[in-house]
Chain A
Amino acid sequence: MRTSVVLLALVLLLVLPDVVLACPVCFDASDENRQAFLATTVFLSLLPLGMVAGVGLWIRKRSKELDED
């Protein structure tokens, strides 16, 4: 019984990747689509970091100005 369950699981593991889309963003192989995913991933990753860094630098500059006054 146990052996048959393990065998069934192995067979499913071999068959399922062909049935399901293993990667949710791999449905389109066009180059433009890949570029769009790459560009938006980079954009959405860097944008919050850039905003936080920008405000941080602005606060630092403002602090220096107040120290000089």
Chain B
Amino acid sequence: MSADTIALTFEVRPPPTVRPKLIADGVMGMLVFIFTEVMMFAGLVSAHTIVRSQVAGGMWPPYGQPRLPVGETAGNTAALLASGVVLVFAYRAFRTEPARARLLLMVSIVLGSFFVGSQGVEWVALLGEGLTLTSSTYGSFFYVIVGGHALHAVVALGAMVWAWMRMTKDRLTAAELATVSTFWYFVVLVWPVLYLKVYL
């Protein structure tokens, strides 16, 4: 070897292992959004609790205001919870049985739509009985809290319909389904808390 020759040595290393993402970007973004929404509902429920505790004589609903339909809403709540359970099965079937996942997602959408539709019918009846946004703090809390939830439910149902349409074209990714499902689980799980606080 001559004096001006440089000896190069190469260390052969194994290729770096690519670790899958812990959480899909969409799910992470959705979780941050849900955190803010949970705090909004927590604030509203807390305000409702305090106002209710200040009512003289503990008369709730106030005099002249209609009682909320506890029984009918319990049925709607069951439909909403069933929708969430069906969505869990749809998500599990997504990779292995796409046709079954499509069917289950549709069932979940139908159950969710039944909940929203029934709540709408209930609202029309309550408006007819004189419960409005300005009739009392009772009415204000009812429409703001339950209406806020209904708004979330409608948007989440729209997202689920979008997911179903993409699923029928084989374009839906697991991350997209997880993101939409996370939103719907929030809508489903926050409702029993609102029901217990507002209706009972």
Which residues of A are in contact with B by a Cβ distance under 8 Å?
28, 30, 32-33, 35-37, 39-40, 43-44, 47-48, 51, 55, 59, 62-63, 66
Complex: how many Å from CA A30 to CA B50?
11
Q: Is the CB of B50 within 8 A of A37?
A: yes
Contact with A along B1-32 (1 / 0, CB 8 A): 00000000000000000011011000000010
Choice from B38, B42, B50 contacting A36 with Cβ under 8 Å: B50
Q: Is the CB of B19 within 8 A of A36?
A: no
What residues of chain A lie closer than 8 Å to B39, measured between beta carbons? 44, 47-48
What residues of chain B lie closer than 8 Å to A48, measured between beta carbons? 35, 39
Q: Is the CB of A35 within 8 A of B53?
A: yes
With A48-B35, A48-B39, A66-B19 already in contact, 11 other A-B pairs whose C-beta atoms are closer than 8 Å: A30-B53, A30-B54, A32-B58, A36-B50, A43-B42, A44-B39, A44-B43, A47-B39, A47-B42, A59-B22, A62-B22
What residues of chain B lie closer than 8 Å to A62, measured between beta carbons? 22-23
| Count of chain B residues near A, Cβ 8 A | 17
What residues of chain A lie closer than 8 Å to B52, measured between beta carbons? 36
Q: Is the CB of B38 within 8 A of A51?
A: yes
Within 8 A of A (CB), among B29-63: 31, 35, 38-39, 42-43, 46, 49-50, 52-54, 58
What residues of chain A lie closer than 8 Å to B46, measured between beta carbons? 40, 43-44
Choice from B31, B50, B53, B58 contacting A55 with Cβ under 8 Å: B31
Complex: how many Å from CA A37 to CA B50?
6
Complex: how many Å from CA A67 to CA B10?
30
Choice from B19, B50, B54 contacting A40 with Cβ under 8 Å: B50
Q: Is the CB of A39 within 8 A of B49?
A: yes
Choice from B31, B38, B43, B54 contacting A33 with Cβ under 8 Å: B54
Complex: how many Å from CA A55 to CA B34?
12
Chain B nearest CB from A11 CB (Å) reads 34
Complex: how many Å from CA A28 to CA B58?
14
Complex: how many Å from CA A10 to CA B20?
69
- Contacts A44-B42, A47-B39, A51-B38 given; does A59 touch B23 at CB 8 Å: yes
Complex: how many Å from CA A32 to CA B22?
45
A selection of 29 A-B contacts at a CB cut-off of 8 Å is: A28-B54, A30-B53, A30-B54, A32-B58, A33-B50, A33-B53, A33-B54, A36-B49, A36-B50, A37-B50, A39-B49, A40-B46, A40-B49, A40-B50, A43-B42, A44-B39, A47-B38, A47-B39, A47-B42, A48-B39, A51-B35, A51-B38, A59-B22, A59-B23, A62-B22, A62-B23, A66-B19, A66-B20, A66-B22
